Amino acid sequence: MAPQLAWIGLGNMGRGMVKNIVSKANLDKPLIIYNRTGKRSQDFKASLENPDSVQVVESIEEAVKAADIIFTSLGDDKSVNSVLDTALQVSGGVTGKLFVDTSTILPETSDAVAQKMRSGGAEFVAAPIFGAPLMADLGKLIVVLAGPSAAVDRILPYCEGVTARATIDLRDQSPGKATLLKITGNTAILSMTNSLINANWQVETVAEGHVFAEKSGLGSEALHKFFEAMFPGPYAAYSTRMMTGDYMRDEPLFAVDLARKDVGHGINLAAKVGVDMQVLKVLDGHLKDLKEETGPKADLPAIYGIIRKQSGLPYSNQ
């Protein structure tokens, strides 16, 4: 018998995920849905090809009490804390229930609510997601899972092939690791808005990301999984070169002087039309420091070593 699912929070992402679960997952009973604004729940139910695949309830308590696995998709840390605090007050308790939060919240919030739920007899998995609302609607998200292995296994049937095109599995790591990766990934995505124009910027983004991952405790392996899932191709390739130490190769694939030449062209062309390319200037500074550190045969991805040094780590990661 399939578990009874409940979903709390029907924003742009939540609606798409629920739609895919009820149409693709192996459910044997309607998925329970709750939203703070009741009309949104009713409107969403009416929009489904099979409206009977969901059951609208009028309170968090009602949703939690009837469910085995409760998903939350909420706007911020305060909302997550509020909903889960309410859940802990449900008559009969939450022992044996599994709570899965897909929201983007701080790592410390994820770890704190996980501890609260465990103290109440429940289990908790952080499951933040990468993707726009259209990707949620198409079931093409990337989901990160962190929590106890047995609990993660219970969530997998609702991920790849249902709500997601890929899963980054951080089982048996703290839930906060998943949300740390989510925030780190979001930062990289924002940086890549410009990086898509110039390959040099890709390297800066990947290098800074890896140094942050190491210093923050997220770990380079987790960030590399993100690059592989979200940006296969140059980003993942540069990530591999940095992780394996290939950035310190004797014969450069893209020598530092050539990289500075390209970056200089970009800065100058932008200046002519009144644009101050701050990201390129940061990159140029790292390239200048790289040449001073290792000489003209330094390879472009070796700015990773420079960023490591500036952050208090050795130039080499080997």
Residues 179-202, mean pLDDT to the nearest whole number = 70
Separation CA 138–CA 16 (nearest Å) = 7
* Gyration radius of the chain over CA positions: 23
- CB-based contact 161:171 (threshold 8 Å): no
Listing DSSP states for 217-274 in one string gives: TS-HHHHHHHHHHHSTTHHHHHHHHHHHTGGG-SS-SSBHHHHHHHHHHHHHHHHHTT
Q: Does 261 qualify as catalytic in the annotation?
A: no
Per-residue confidence band for 231, with pLDDT thresholds at 50, 70 and 90? confident
| Residue whose C-alpha is closest to residue 227's, from 245, 200, 244, 207 | 207
Q: List Cα–Cα distances, 81 to 84, 123, 191, in angstroms.
A: 5, 15, 30
Domains 5-173 and 196-310 share a fold: no
Per-residue confidence band for 185, with pLDDT thresholds at 50, 70 and 90? confident
pLDDT (tens digit per residue) in 5-38? 999 999 989 999 999 999 999 899 999 999 999 9
pLDDT at 193 over 70: no
pLDDT at res. 190: 59
Per-residue confidence band for 196, with pLDDT thresholds at 50, 70 and 90? very low
pLDDT at res. 132: 85
Candidate from 36-50, 211-225, 238-252, 254-268 with smallest mean pLDDT: 254-268
**Fold type of domain 5-173:** Rossmann fold (3.40.50)
Q: Where are the chain's structural domains?
A: 5-173, 196-310
Residues 121-130, mean pLDDT to the nearest whole number = 97
- For residue 5, give the 3-state DSSP assignment: strand
pLDDT at 288 over 70: yes
Separation CA 198–CA 200 (nearest Å) = 5
**Token representation of residue 271:** 């200046």
- For residue 211, give the 3-state DSSP assignment: helix
Separation CA 284–CA 82 (nearest Å) = 46
pLDDT at res. 192: 60
pLDDT at 194 over 60: no
- pTM summary value: 0.84
- Point out the catalytic residue in the list 19, 65, 97, 182: 182
- CB-based contact 220:210 (threshold 8 Å): yes
Superfamily of domain 196-310: N-(1-d-carboxylethyl)-l-norvaline Dehydrogenase; domain 2 (1.10.1040.10)
